[in-house]
């Protein structure tokens, strides 16, 4: 405790000295002023501030009670202790009621030090309490006055105690007198304009689930039907476990500001109407690339596609996914340097093609040719893009069909022409009739062979045409693992004979919905090829695996076969009647052609990696949507 300053009212110097000596012996650190009458007493309290007053009860023309009344009249808050020779109990009670802290008899001064310290301590605590209460009251009054002047109200929802509180101005903004209705979020939402109610509800829910603070604006319909414009903020408090424990917010009545702004911008009303009703979403960014304003379509897109509502002050880059951010950041920085940039972007959506948008960035200039910000113009082009993609698909299919026709023309000119020419030559010779029996027999055998070749070629063409026809029938759920097991069973003898090991891993994707006959044929051809073209000194090992890659499913078939020379043969691998190792196995060269045809018919694509004597790996890729029911 700091050095104390005491005021002693005593006309007997011996008694005053005794009081001082008693306090000094207690170890108290203090200074003192002695007064002997009302004049000196009043002079002392006017010139100094004392920590305590020790007053005799009876002086010649002055008394302790009179001194206490002077203190009270002047509203001086200082502990007052009566030090007297004798006093009745009734008198003691009366003087305590006047405001004295304590009374000490002069023949019991040993109590005085503790009485002084105790009184000072109590007064200081009381003084601090009053000061705190005065500040609270002043702050509350100031807050209420500020709320009324600024037209903003505040609310709090305590989830731990399940209570909700609105400030008086919150009630007034909504058109009610304080306490007229039960405060709650649902009550507030009922007053939000019906066109914006769901968006406000979503914004509040999103903030509670994913953020700590959020801002928004909306319109409300007050009790008397008046339409008001509101600016609002929400702040969420969480505990150590990230659980929401309290939600605070405030709303501000900005109706006058909105009306004033509309009045000032009256000349731009038509432009604004176009801005809000155009098929293009507009977002205005400042030089720090933070959102300044946006139209309703932009907000709708942010809710529906990004699940993150646009809000003033947010960084624009945060609305793009991590993968796209570096590119978008580079574009925006270039726009701040004065460039205009446009590009197309696809956003995920349940529709097969997603949602496509054309995004243009334009710099905002001031009169000094300085860039103040960026305008983002976002226009949906899904219909146009789908049309282009479908057109590209049709073009690709037409090109593929042209290639197929060229292939068929090749087949007709080579594979059909040869047996047909033989048949014509033989029949001409037989018709002339100048053949002996042996020659006739030879010609008949040749005719039979040519007819069989012709029939085989026609059967191959029929098989190809069957595969290329549009897939009909119903899809069914299949398991890749079951297909492999079925193939193992069907060629079990061959597997044992060749020592074939087939390893499969379908842990990422096993069940799909597709046309079983095609998938079975694809698996069978690739597995049988790996066995046919094994290395002579190695037992065949075939690894089959499925993977889920974003929106695609990949199948890989990897073996340790003799492989292929892709540098010279890459263009022929999937060609019809193309064979690379005829000395190792019989065949027509149709297997890989059929595999590619069936994969493409199912909407997929196939690629190959291979090196001579190191093995081959085929990868087949399907869109996940391909396997939808």
C-alpha 527/C-alpha 521 separation (Å) is 10
For 483, half-sphere exposure in the C-beta direction (CA atoms, 13 angstrom radius) is 26
The model's pTM is: 0.38
- Going edge to edge, which strands form the sheet with 371-380? 291-294, 280-286, 371-380, 355-365, 341-347
Give the model's confidence band at 119: pLDDT under 50 very low, under 70 low, under 90 confident, else very high.
confident
Residues pairing with 285 in the sheet = 291, 374
Domain total of the chain: 4
Q: Does residue 607 lie in a domain region?
A: yes
pLDDT (mean) for 174-188: 89
Report the CATH number that the domain containing residue 210 is assigned in CATH.
3.30.450.20
Q: Is residue 202 part of a domain?
A: yes
| pLDDT range class, residue 271, cuts 50, 70, 90 | low
Q: How does residue 265 score in pLDDT terms, banded at 50, 70 and 90?
A: low
Do 352 and 390 have their domain in common? no
Out of 319, 354, 380, pick the residue that ends a domain. Answer: 380
Return d(Cα 128, Cα 612) in angstroms, integer: 92
pLDDT above 90: residue 487: no
397 with 376, same domain? no
**Last residue in a domain, options 315, 349, 380:** 380
- The span from the CA of 600 to the CA of 544, in Å, is 20
Q: Do 240 and 321 belong together in one domain?
A: yes
Residue 65 lies in a domain: yes
Q: Rounded CA gap, 367 and 352, in Å? A: 47
Query: Three-state SS for 550?
Result: coil
Beta strands, E only, 36-106: 52-55, 80-84, 102-105
Q: Are residues 113 and 86 in the same domain?
A: yes
- 101-105, 271-275, 355-359: segment of lowest average pLDDT: 271-275
d(CA 548, CA 89): 95
Q: Is 187 helix (H, G, I), strand (E, B) or coil?
A: helix
Say which residue the tokens 């030559």 belong to. 425
Same domain, 156 and 61: no
Segment 8-61, tens digit of pLDDT: 998 888 888 998 998 898 888 999 999 988 899 999 999 999 999 998 888 888
Q: Which two tokens stand for residue 543?
A: 């690894």
The answer on 589 and 517 residing in a single domain is: yes
Domain membership flag for residue 411: yes
Is residue 555 scored above 90 in pLDDT? Answer: yes
Residue indicated by tokens 């202790």: 81
Q: Do 464 and 515 belong to one domain?
A: no
What are 56's two structure tokens? 């005799």
d(C-alpha 54, C-alpha 84), whole Å: 10
Of 420, 443, 468, the one marking the end of a domain is 468
Q: Which residue in 526, 525, 520, 527 sits closest to 479, CA to CA?
A: 520
Q: Is residue 557 domain-resident? A: yes
- Dump pLDDT digits (tens) for 491-511: 877 788 788 899 999 999 999
Output the domain CATH number for residue 68: 3.40.50.2300
Distance CA 69, CA 406 (A): 122
Tokens at residue 315, please? 């960084």
> Is 558:478 a contact under the CB 8 Å cutoff?
no
Q: How many CB atoms lie within 10 A of CB 22?
A: 19
The neighbour count for residue 43, using CB atoms within 10 Å, is 12
Asked if residue 413 has pLDDT above 60, the reply is no
Same domain, 511 and 394: no
Which pLDDT belongs to residue 401?
A: 64
Claim to verify: residue 216 and residue 357 sit in the same structural domain: yes
Task: Clarify whether residues 533 and 582 are in a common domain.
Answer: yes
For the chain, what's the residue count?
Answer: 629
Kindly state the average pLDDT of the residues 244-271: 75
**Highest mean pLDDT out of 311-320, 428-437, 502-511, 573-582:** 502-511
Under the banding of pLDDT at 50, 70 and 90, the label for residue 470 is very low
pLDDT over 90 (residue 436): no
Residue 137 maps to a domain: no
* Domain that residue 421 falls in: 384-468
Task: Evaluate whether 84 touches 103 at the Cβ level (below 8 Å).
Answer: yes
Structural contact between residues 172 and 152, judged by C-beta atoms closer than 8 angstroms: no
The sign of the dihedral angle between the CA atoms of 197, 203, 207, 210 is positive
Is residue 496 one of the residues assigned to a domain?
yes
The predicted structure's pLDDT at residue 34: 92
Q: CATH code at 451?
A: 1.10.287.130
Same domain, 204 and 340: yes
Extract the tokens encoding 437: 């029996």
- 211 and 109 belong to one structural domain: no
Q: Is residue 136 part of a domain?
A: no
- H/E/C letters for each residue in 557-621? EEECCCCCCHHHHCCCCCCCCCCCCCCCCCCCCCHHHHHHHHHHHCCCEEEEEEECCCEEEEEEE
Q: CATH number, domain at 569? A: 3.30.565.10
Percentage with pLDDT > 70 across the chain: 82
């Amino acid at each position: 405790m700091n050095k104390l300053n005491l005021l002693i009212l005593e006309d007997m110097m011996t008694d005053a000295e005794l009081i001082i000596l008693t306090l000094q012996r207690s170890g108290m650190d203090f200074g003192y002023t002695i007064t002997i009458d009302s004049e000196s007493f009043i002079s002392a309290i006017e010139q100094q501030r004392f920590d305590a007053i020790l007053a005799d009860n009876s002086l010649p023309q002055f008394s302790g009670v009179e001194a206490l009344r002077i203190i009270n009249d002047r509203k001086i808050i200082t502990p007052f202790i009566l030090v007297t020779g004798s006093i009745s109990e009734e008198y003691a009670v009366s003087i305590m009621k006047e405001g004295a802290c304590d009374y000490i008899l002069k023949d019991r001064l040993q109590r005085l030090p503790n009485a002084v310290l105790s009184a000072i301590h109590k007064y200081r605590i009381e003084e601090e309490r009053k000061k705190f209460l005065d500040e609270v009251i002043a702050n509350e009054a100031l807050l209420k006055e500020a709320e009324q002047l600024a037209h903003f109200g505040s609310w709090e929802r305590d989830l731990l105690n399940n209570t909700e509180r609105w400030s008086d101005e919150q009630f007034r903004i909504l058109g009610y007198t304080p306490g007229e209705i039960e405060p709650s979020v649902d009550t507030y939402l009922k007053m939000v304009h019906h066109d914006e109610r769901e968006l406000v509800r979503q914004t509040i829910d999103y903030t509670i689930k994913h953020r700590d603070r959020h801002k928004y604006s909306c319109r409300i319909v007050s009790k008397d039907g008046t339409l008001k414009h509101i600016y609002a903020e929400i702040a969420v408090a969480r505990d150590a476990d990230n659980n929401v424990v309290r939600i605070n917010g405030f709303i501000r009545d900005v109706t006058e500001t909105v009306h004033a702004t509309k009045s000032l911008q009256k000349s731009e009303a038509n432009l604004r109407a176009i801005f809000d009703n155009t098929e293009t979403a507009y977002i205005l960014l400042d030089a720090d690339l933070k959102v300044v304003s946006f139209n309703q379509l932009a907000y709708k897109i942010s809710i529906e596609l990004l699940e993150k509502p646009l809000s003033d002050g947010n960084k624009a880059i945060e609305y793009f996914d991590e993968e796209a951010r570096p590119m978008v950041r580079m574009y925006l920085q270039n726009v701040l340097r004065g460039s205009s940039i446009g590009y197309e972007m696809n956003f995920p959506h349940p529709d097969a093609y997603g949602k496509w948008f054309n995004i243009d960035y334009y710099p905002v200039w001031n009169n000094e040719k300085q860039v103040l910000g960026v305008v983002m113009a976002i226009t949906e082009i899904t219909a146009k893009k789908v049309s282009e993609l479908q057109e590209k698909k049709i073009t690709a299919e037409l090109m593929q069909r042209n290639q197929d026709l060229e292939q068929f023309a090749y087949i007709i000119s080579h594979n059909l022409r040869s047996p047909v020419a033989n048949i014509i030559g033989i029949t001409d010779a037989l018709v002339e009739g100048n053949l002996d029996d042996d020659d006739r027999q030879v010609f008949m055998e040749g005719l039979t062979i040519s007819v069989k070749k012709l029939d085989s070629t026609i059967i191959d063409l029929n098989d190809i045409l069957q595969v290329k026809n549009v897939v009909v029938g119903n899809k069914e759920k299949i398991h890749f693992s079951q297909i492999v097991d079925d193939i193992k069973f069907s060629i079990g003898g061959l597997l044992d004979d060749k020592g074939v090991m087939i390893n499969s891993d379908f842990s990422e994707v096993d069940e799909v919905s597709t046309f079983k006959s095609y998938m079975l044929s694809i698996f069978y051809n690739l597995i049988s090829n790996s066995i046919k073209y094994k290395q002579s000194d190695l037992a065949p090992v075939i690894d089959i695996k499925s993977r889920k890659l974003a929106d695609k499913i990949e199948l890989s078939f990897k073996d340790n076969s003799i492989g292929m020379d892709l540098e010279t043969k890459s263009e022929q691998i999937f060609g019809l009647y193309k064979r690379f190792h005829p000395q190792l196995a019989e065949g027509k060269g149709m297997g890989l052609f059929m595999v590619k045809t069936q994969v493409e018919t199912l909407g997929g694509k196939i690629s190959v990696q291979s090196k001579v004597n190191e093995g081959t790996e085929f990868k087949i890729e399907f869109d996940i949507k391909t396997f939808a029911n």
